[in-house]
Amino acid sequence: MNPERGSNAVVADGGTTFLTERDPEESTTEAISRSIAAVKGVPETDLDPLYSKIELEALETMVRHADERGCSVQVEFTVDEYTVLVRGDGEIRIRPDDAGGYR
């Protein structure tokens, strides 16, 4: 995983997947937007709103609930040409759609 935990770094995993972790001070939504923008090499303001892709309140609630109870949860969805995997422990994985899913 990211050796600079909490540094907001988005790093390649040696393949086509990019990994990051949600900073404790940011929401899951903010971390996803930051990560996608970093992978695409564009400012976050250039991205389409995430709410057009996924129900953000439901995602935030699920991740927060899992974190508070020490449960495991993962949510996978597509944003533009990327598959995004969000885990309850704060890990976010982003890979190009043509690289296949995370199954």
DSSP-derived 3-state class of residue 57? helix
User: If we measure between CA atoms, which residue out of 82, 76, 61, 88 comes closest to residue 16?
Assistant: 82
Q: Which of 41-55 are b and which e, b meaning 16 or more Cβ less than 10 Å from the residue's Cβ?
A: eeeeeebeebeeebe
Contact 77, 54 (CB under 8 A): yes
Predicted TM-score of the model (pTM): 0.78
Query: Which pLDDT score, from 0 to 100, does residue 90 have?
Result: 87
Stretches where the chain sits below pLDDT 70 are: 1-15, 99-103
